[in-house]
Structure 1
Amino acid sequence: MKRRHWVLAGVGTAALGALALRPGEGGAPHDAYFTALSQALRQSDRATDAVTPTLVIDRDRLQANIGRVLALKAKPMPLRVVAKSLACLPLLDFIAQHTGSTRQMVFNLPYLLLQASQRPALDLLLGKPLPAGAAQAFYQRHPAGAFDASRQLQWLIDTPERLAEYRQLARGLGQKLRVNLEIDVGLHRGGFADLSAFQKALSLLKDESLLEFSGLMGYDPHITEIPDIPGARSHAEAHAKRVYADFKAAALAALPAAQARAPELTWNAAGSPTFQLHDGQGAANEVSVGSAFVKPTHFDFAHLADCQPACFIATPVLKSGAFALPTGVEWIAAAARAWDRNQRHGVFLYGGEWRADVVSPAGLATSGLYGTSPNQQVMVGSGRQNLQPGDTVFFRPQKSEASLQQFGDIAVISGGKVVAHWPVFPPMP
């Protein structure tokens, strides 16, 4: 009897231990903020806002984020807005209006053509090196007009070989090209990594009157992305700034004509993860910012804690009920429901498989049992979310680039109402 007692006690202890490991029940309906967003979409004059997946921008939050970014940015540092992260002309216009900056960074030929023709007052810097053939296509396709590429456009160059190709293009066109040299300040993704290749490019620039040196670009997001090992980030930051200063000094030493114009040249650095690290005392004289203005999930950095998420994917619920798996494996769903109360309820959405995280209502998650679908994504929850067909689920994009362009016109909400629909750039890599 004593032995049986210990066996039963052991079984009871194991059962209690298993119950302790059982996931707790969570979830809740939309809070007041997302309830208001949902109502605004339902009351929109454009019926599709509430019945198809829609990209939403909260204009009030956007404007507040602009103010917070400007407060974080060192006052001596001009701002260059990264267009690929905000690929929508009215959105870029709104940011330009509230920042006072006409400087933008562009990353591909179609957007370059679009921005140069539609916004001829912009000062444009390429954010990645393009093949010389793409540059040639720009000059062939861009009509003469208010945008003066010889003053307002800087091509990005990363190797002596690419610079030689642009020299050939300049000679063929018979016109001046402004070139900005990309340097590797620690990211190791591209750009001049050693001074010997850089010196070759500088010699070529010095000897070619049709190529005008316009500055440097050193992208440094790795500083805040690397693991927060003691000393690692501070070392990466010091290294990036030292490398930038060394390359800048080499450029000015090799190009006497640039020395007198050094303050007006473009010494570009940073991005949303690191713009606050540049105080105007170093080699860089402008910083780039893009995603911080709308704050997708991959930009939840400590220095952006006061910025609020301002863009969301809103999608309708198609079906809501007990979570079930296809015929033949229904018992697995029954076991999942019994074990995890957060898998009792299944919600099928219009669309899915976005690079985004569900943000409201709380407690929804992708089903690891059912899998994902770009057509009808199933989410699981406890049922506390109280979702019915026609209700709205909100996702927060992980990154704004590409995400903003997946859903047609952006629904712009301000003061609890849809106040505008902003057309986006056509999707492009």
Structure 2
Amino acid sequence: MNRRQFLLAGAAAGVAGALTFRPDDNGDAYTPYFEQLNRSLKRDGSYVPSMLVDLDALDENIKALKSTLNPEKDFRIVAKSLPSPQLLGYIMEKADTNKLMVFHQPFLSQIARDYPDSDLLLGKPMPVKAAERFYQQQGEKPAFDAQSQLQWLIDSEHRLNQYLALAKQLSVKMRINIELDVGLHRGGVQSLSELNSLLTLIEQNGDVLTFAGFMGYDAHVVKVPGVLKSPQQAFDESQQFYQASINFLYHNFPALKSDSLCFNGAGSPTLALHREGSVANELSAGSCLVKPSSFDVPTLAQFQPAAYIATPVLKKMAGTRLPSAEFARDLFSMWDKNMQQTFFIYGGNWQAEYESPRGLQDNTLYGQSTNQQIVNGSDKVKLFVDDHVFLRPAQSEAVFLQFGQLKTLRDGRLLDNWPILQQA
């Protein structure tokens, strides 16, 4: 082989090697489910970005929840993951529970008004001024009785002293639930000596404080790297500290013991682990019922997605043209067939992944936009102006709040509009 033949062979090998690493063509048409949904939205939709909740899928997830739960444990709905009063009411009825976990003071105030028979537990410690605002918004004769229906979460002796002062100032009696650090290390009581200080303070001020129970959130259990310990090991360790705290309470503060104490635990990812060996008497979950993509974990395999973003296509163009790089329009699609078409959608930059049609992708060179997001796809993507792009949210608690309402679906068709909870 002469030098020229060698160079040509090398160039051919280089091209072949480069082609080997070309992205696959991921494009496809709508699945039948989203094709029907697109038709429904084009017929009856508002042609603005919308959050959709499929009630059929939600019903199946509620059934999966009931089969996952230990029947001896109560169920508490995590309101932040399902932030719509109608959605919460729907699930409360279907799941047969009046227990909610609340993480935001405006949500707390609205839920207390909308569901005066509910049993509420704070999921994170509220600044004492936020707690004071809740009582100010209650009015003189509220239907919701905070003294018997609300548990304030306390993570430290300092915060408990703040709440004690507020209870005396307002002449109210406050139920106190103590946050236990069962391994997540996001705050809460980490030792029995800390616990002793809090329980002593509650016992000494029984005229204004009532001990309500413990809360131990264990989301870390399924996220601990396997090289450190297994999920079961992490779960067992979390339960050991929880049980030690209960034993300490019963042995050292028998006057605070009662049959009504709330020992709350779990969360969607760890719900299944609490089926056996859990010391909690009630379990909390919310996200699993709509299953955003960040909850695609083995412990939630029996649940299905029930929430999607739908947004119209505003513009469609051949190829991919970038500012000041118009010369590369055809080069982009030659390298990556998923750049053969460009779409601009209504809105964008949500915490979400493209769901249908398959093969859509962001253009990282062009950048993100909350106004008109650029989306690329191959020629296999049969998408036209006024069609809808469907995305699956990565989480529900923040993404739902970016939409003024939820559009509910039944049998793949639009059914109703449910407002979200007030945010301020």
Q: Would you call these one fold, judging by a TM-score over 0.5?
A: yes
Cα deviations by residue, 1:4-55 (Å, 9 ceiling, x for unpaired): 33332222222222222222222111010111111222232xx41xx10011
Q: Which amino acid aligns with 2:111?
A: Q
Q: Is residue 23 of structure 1 aligned with residue 20 of structure 2?
A: no
How far, CA to CA, are the matches of 2:158 and 2:210 in structure 1? 16
How far, CA to CA, are the matches of 1:215 and 1:146 in structure 2? 24
How far, CA to CA, are the matches of 1:384 and 1:108 in structure 2? 45
Contact 1:76 1:279 in 2 (8 A): no
Q: Which amino acid aligns with 1:151?
A: S
Contact 1:353 1:377 in 2 (8 A): yes
Give 1:323's aligned residue: 319
Q: Residue 134 of structure 2 aligns to a residue in which SS?
A: helix
- Residue 173 of structure 1 deviates from its aligned partner by 2.0
Cα deviations by residue, 1:170-192 (Å, 9 ceiling, x for unpaired): 11222211000001000001111
Give 1:126's aligned residue: 122
How far, CA to CA, are the matches of 2:93 and 2:154 in structure 1? 30
Give 2:205's aligned residue: 208
Give 1:34's aligned residue: 34
Give 2:249's aligned residue: 251
Q: Residue 238 of structure 2 aligns to a residue in which SS?
A: helix
Contact 1:313 1:397 in 2 (8 A): yes
How far, CA to CA, are the matches of 2:322 and 2:136 in structure 1? 56
Contact 2:68 2:275 in 1 (8 A): no
Cα deviations by residue, 1:73-127 (Å, 9 ceiling, x for unpaired): 1111110000000000111111111110000001121111101111101000000
Contact 2:216 2:266 in 1 (8 A): yes
Q: Which amino acid aligns with 2:199?
A: L
1:418 to 405, 414, 418: 414
1:89 to 81, 85, 89: 85
Contact 1:346 1:379 in 2 (8 A): yes
Give 2:94's aligned residue: 98
Contact 1:203 1:254 in 2 (8 A): no
Q: Is residue 392 of structure 1 aligned with residue 388 of structure 2?
A: yes
Give 1:226's aligned residue: 224
Indicate the percent of aligned positions where both proteins have the same amino acid.
Answer: 40
Give 1:142's aligned residue: 138
Q: Which amino acid aligns with 1:332?
A: A
Q: Is residue 170 of structure 1 aligned with residue 167 of structure 2?
A: yes
The 5 Å alignment of 1:322-341 reads 322-341=318-337
Q: Residue 278 of structure 1 aligns to a residue in which SS?
A: helix
Structure 1 stretch displaced more, 140-149 or 307-316: 140-149
- Residue 426 of structure 1 deviates from its aligned partner by 2.8
Runs (5+) with no aligned partner, structure 1: none
Q: Which amino acid aligns with 1:234?
A: Q
Runs (5+) with no aligned partner, structure 2: none
Cα deviations by residue, 1:248-294 (Å, 9 ceiling, x for unpaired): 112222321233x1x42100001001111113643211100100000
Structure 1 stretch displaced more, 123-132 or 34-43: 34-43
- Residue 391 of structure 1 deviates from its aligned partner by 0.4
Q: Residue 68 of structure 1 aligns to a residue in which SS?
A: helix
How far, CA to CA, are the matches of 2:239 and 2:343 in structure 1? 50
Give 1:301's aligned residue: 297
Give 1:356's aligned residue: 352
How far, CA to CA, are the matches of 1:282 and 1:20 in structure 2? 51
How far, CA to CA, are the matches of 1:250 and 1:10 in structure 2? 75
The 5 Å alignment of 1:370-385 reads 370-385=366-381
Structure 1 stretch displaced more, 18-27 or 264-273: 18-27
TM-score of the two chains, using structure 1 as the length reference = 0.95
Give 1:187's aligned residue: 184
Q: Residue 410 of structure 1 aligns to a residue in which SS?
A: strand
- Residue 228 of structure 1 deviates from its aligned partner by 3.2
How far, CA to CA, are the matches of 1:220 and 1:155 in structure 2? 19
The 5 Å alignment of 1:44-59 reads 44=44, 47-48=45-46, 51-59=47-55
Give 2:12's aligned residue: 12
Q: Residue 92 of structure 1 aligns to a residue in which SS?
A: helix
Q: Which amino acid aligns with 1:52?
A: V
CA 1:280–1:179: 2 relative to 1, 3 Å: farther
- Residue 327 of structure 1 deviates from its aligned partner by 4.2
Give 1:289's aligned residue: 285
Structure 1 stretch displaced more, 197-206 or 97-106: 197-206
- Residue 350 of structure 1 deviates from its aligned partner by 0.3
How far, CA to CA, are the matches of 1:254 and 1:165 in structure 2? 24
- Residue 213 of structure 1 deviates from its aligned partner by 0.4
How far, CA to CA, are the matches of 1:372 and 1:268 in structure 2? 40
1:60 to 46, 56, 63: 56
Contact 1:311 1:397 in 2 (8 A): yes
Q: Is residue 156 of structure 1 aligned with residue 184 of structure 2?
A: no
TM-score of the two chains, using structure 2 as the length reference = 0.96
How far, CA to CA, are the matches of 1:371 and 1:303 in structure 2? 35
How far, CA to CA, are the matches of 1:415 and 1:114 in structure 2? 31
Q: Residue 314 of structure 1 aligns to a residue in which SS?
A: strand
How far, CA to CA, are the matches of 1:254 and 1:176 in structure 2? 23
Q: Which amino acid aligns with 2:74?
A: P
How far, CA to CA, are the matches of 2:298 and 2:276 in structure 1? 21
Contact 1:76 1:280 in 2 (8 A): no
- Residue 129 of structure 1 deviates from its aligned partner by 0.4
2:104 to 94, 105, 108: 108
Structure 1 stretch displaced more, 418-427 or 372-381: 418-427
Give 1:236's aligned residue: 234
The 5 Å alignment of 1:258-269 reads 258-259=256-257, 261=258, 263-269=259-265
